[in-house]
A and B are shown apart, each in its own frame.
Chain A
């Protein structure tokens, strides 16, 4: 069995900021914090990362309000159309569309002209035309507000006019005919939320668990760390699959489940910190003042583990987002029609030959976000640990 006093084999890309000089309360703490902040601000890569993160967040959360399309809105005329900055439809395309629509209404199209945002056409038939036939035309995504302007030849010819609805799909559409731009935005919301919330869950569990274990020490510590040890030996993929299969697929559960499997490293780090903090004067002073164990943990231990914990969070967030994408790949991600970057990317890989944009756009955002998180994490670590660099 693993020796618990050995440094945790945490999958932490970077030296663990194992024993930072713990800042004491009050003035000194604040100035240290200010120093760290100043170092962080001077780190260009980290700042660029932060900036990109803010942009992506803004894009994901504010974006859907600016684009007129809903994320689950289906454009039946635009299934899997490639990205384009030009408005759709193009004029040539319109002729086809109106003919198809007319065929469904069992009429034929005479002259058809488009000028600007409106069109006129004549509909012919051998029988009297039901004026409702215009609804077949409105029914398409391309035309709207079609009205009959004149009825000729005993109703066997209708003159109609209406407007051409133009839509923009800068990211193209997916294979159900939904606007990929909005899908990527909504997917971003979910992925970011899962990343942050799951990390928070793991943070809360891990910090509390680690602090209690480290502070109480002795037999309790042994038992608690043995439990962590057991969980380490469980293949976590299996855990997540089981939990998702067992509890269903709601958004809340997915981040709870992921968070519940990612707190182990955090618990170990915080425990290590706590062990060294416990021997410090200010903790001993607090004990002497007669504070209860829980008060000491809450007021003195946990706040002083903040540094490594913050750094660790920047590592957990991308990990969680990757895990979410893995779940999506297995078909266990968030419930459709909601989506996440992971789910979009996973769909994108199956269509990458026929429709590469379905892979490229979500991947770009996903990778950019994780990239930024990594840089920000590096920056934070450097800033909080003055020995480095």
Chain B
């Protein structure tokens, strides 16, 4: 709660001090009309008053009207867009974790072999190519040139539409997971209890799956939270390129348009999301590694 409060406060004042306001447009409004609008949105009140009003409203679940998307309240926009983001984000997370861990394990087992180098090189390309390149290239190749998949849009939400954006979104995170897994697997395979297990004649497969994996999971779990956050913010680009109506673009559009309430809404939403995620990850972590308690 104190974290959320601080987040709201910092961002509220930060955006208010940015130049321009929600109503300065390419085609500026005559001063009288501007006054009407400012009054209608209660922007004529002193800032502290607006701040207190905002806190009060948010505490009651009311994020206010959007200044730019006039036909929607911020709450409605969030509710409308969140399912898209969550769905896409979840798919991307699954793809990143499964793909990344598999690649990492394979690389670790063949450490310094040709497979290792190959897998890790591909993974590194994944983290180094910006996703605003991956997205358009995928779309160009698979939609325009090959006509296999749609070039963009959510469509009916089927796999056909989601495949390309999911890949583009997951790729950098997949690469991170691969690197993480490889590193911790190598370490785990070298740990004493693994060597002991091997010495006792347990099969390599059994050792890898039951013992090494468990130890190697820790850093992966601890990366889940930042990864989920990165997927959420990374989706700004993907949403724009593939025309997906998620939450991500409201950050950017809200900030650029000085849509105060919309920006605040997204910030609060993301902050809640991150706080909850951290909590979940902490619990998971404690489950996997009881030592953490008395460190």
Residue numbers of A with Cβ under 8 A of B are 1-3, 5-11, 13-16, 226, 229-230, 232-238, 241-242, 245-246, 318, 322, 325-326, 329-330, 342, 345-346, 348-349, 352-353, 359, 363, 366-367, 370-371, 374-375, 387-389
Contacts of B136 in A (CB 8 A): 349, 352
Contacts of A230 in B (CB 8 A): 3, 6-7, 10
Cβ < 8 Å to A, chain B residues 205-236: 219, 222-227, 229-230, 232-233, 236
The docked-state distance in angstroms from the alpha carbon of A6 to that of B281 is: 11
Distance (whole angstroms) from the CB of B190 to the closest CB of chain A? 8
Per-residue CB contact flags for chain B residues 161-182 toward chain A (1 = under 8 Å, else 0) read: 0000000000000011001100
Beta-carbon contact of A370 and B132 below 8 Å: no
Cβ < 8 Å to A, chain B residues 95-148: 124-125, 127-130, 132-133, 136-137, 140, 144
Can you list 10 pairs linking A and B with CB atoms under 8 Å apart?
A2-B278, A13-B183, A233-B7, A237-B251, A241-B255, A325-B132, A330-B236, A349-B132, A363-B133, A374-B127
Beta-carbon contact of A242 and B15 below 8 Å: yes
Distance (whole angstroms) from the CB of B105 to the closest CB of chain A? 15
Asked if B79 is an interface residue, CB under 8 A from chain A, the answer is no
Contacts of B271 in A (CB 8 A): 233-235
Distance (whole angstroms) from the CB of A343 to the closest CB of chain B? 11
Beta-carbon contact of A234 and B7 below 8 Å: yes
Contact of A10 among B15, B226, B230, B252 (CB under 8 A): B226
The docked-state distance in angstroms from the alpha carbon of A325 to that of B133 is: 11
Q: Which 10 A-B pairs have the closest CB atoms?
A: A370-B128, A13-B179, A235-B270, A11-B226, A9-B222, A233-B271, A230-B6, A237-B233, A241-B255, A15-B183
Beta-carbon contact of B130 and A238 below 8 Å: no
Beta-carbon contact of B223 and A241 below 8 Å: no
Distance (whole angstroms) from the CB of B194 to the closest CB of chain A? 14
The docked-state distance in angstroms from the alpha carbon of A242 to that of B2 is: 22
Contacts of A374 in B (CB 8 A): 124, 127-128
Per-residue CB contact flags for chain B residues 256-295 toward chain A (1 = under 8 Å, else 0) read: 1000000100110011001100110110010000001001
Asked if B149 is an interface residue, CB under 8 A from chain A, the answer is no
Contacts of A353 in B (CB 8 A): 140, 144
**B144 closest partner in A (C-beta):** A353
The docked-state distance in angstroms from the alpha carbon of A235 to that of B272 is: 11
Distance (whole angstroms) from the CB of B219 to the closest CB of chain A? 6
Interface centre among B124, B186, B266, B271 (most CB of A within 10 A): B124
Q: Please report whether the interface of chain A is mostly helix, strand, loop or mixed according to DSSP.
A: helix
The docked-state distance in angstroms from the alpha carbon of A212 to that of B129 is: 36
**A363 closest partner in B (C-beta):** B133
The docked-state distance in angstroms from the alpha carbon of A245 to that of B17 is: 10
Beta-carbon contact of A9 and B223 below 8 Å: yes
Contact of A15 among B132, B187, B266 (CB under 8 A): B187
Given contacts A6-B282, A238-B263, A238-B266, 5 further A-B contacts (CB under 8 A): A6-B292, A15-B183, A242-B15, A245-B18, A370-B124
Beta-carbon contact of A326 and B275 below 8 Å: no
Contacts of B180 in A (CB 8 A): 13-15
Distance (whole angstroms) from the CB of B82 to the closest CB of chain A? 14
Contacts of B129 in A (CB 8 A): 363, 367
Beta-carbon contact of B252 and A352 below 8 Å: no
The docked-state distance in angstroms from the alpha carbon of A237 to that of B227 is: 14
The docked-state distance in angstroms from the alpha carbon of A246 to that of B117 is: 44
Residue numbers of B with Cβ under 8 A of A are 2-4, 6-7, 10-11, 14-15, 17-19, 124-125, 127-130, 132-133, 136-137, 140, 144, 175-176, 179-180, 183-184, 186-187, 219, 222-227, 229-230, 232-233, 236-237, 251-252, 255-256, 263, 266-267, 270-271, 274-275, 278-279, 281-282, 285, 292, 295
Contacts of B183 in A (CB 8 A): 13-15, 388
Beta-carbon contact of A388 and B140 below 8 Å: no
The docked-state distance in angstroms from the alpha carbon of A23 to that of B4 is: 41
Contacts of A232 in B (CB 8 A): 274, 278
Beta-carbon contact of B10 and A234 below 8 Å: yes
The docked-state distance in angstroms from the alpha carbon of A3 to that of B225 is: 14
The docked-state distance in angstroms from the alpha carbon of A309 to that of B177 is: 21
Contacts of A363 in B (CB 8 A): 129, 133
Distance (whole angstroms) from the CB of A205 to the closest CB of chain B? 17
The docked-state distance in angstroms from the alpha carbon of A13 to that of B11 is: 30
The docked-state distance in angstroms from the alpha carbon of A15 to that of B219 is: 7
**B281 closest partner in A (C-beta):** A9
Beta-carbon contact of B133 and A359 below 8 Å: yes
- Beyond A318-B128, A366-B128, is A237–B252 a contact (Cβ under 8 Å)? yes
Interface centre among A238, A325, A329 (most CB of B within 10 A): A238
**A368 closest partner in B (C-beta):** B128
Distance (whole angstroms) from the CB of B10 to the closest CB of chain A? 7
Contacts of A3 in B (CB 8 A): 282, 292
Contacts of B3 in A (CB 8 A): 1, 226, 229-230, 233
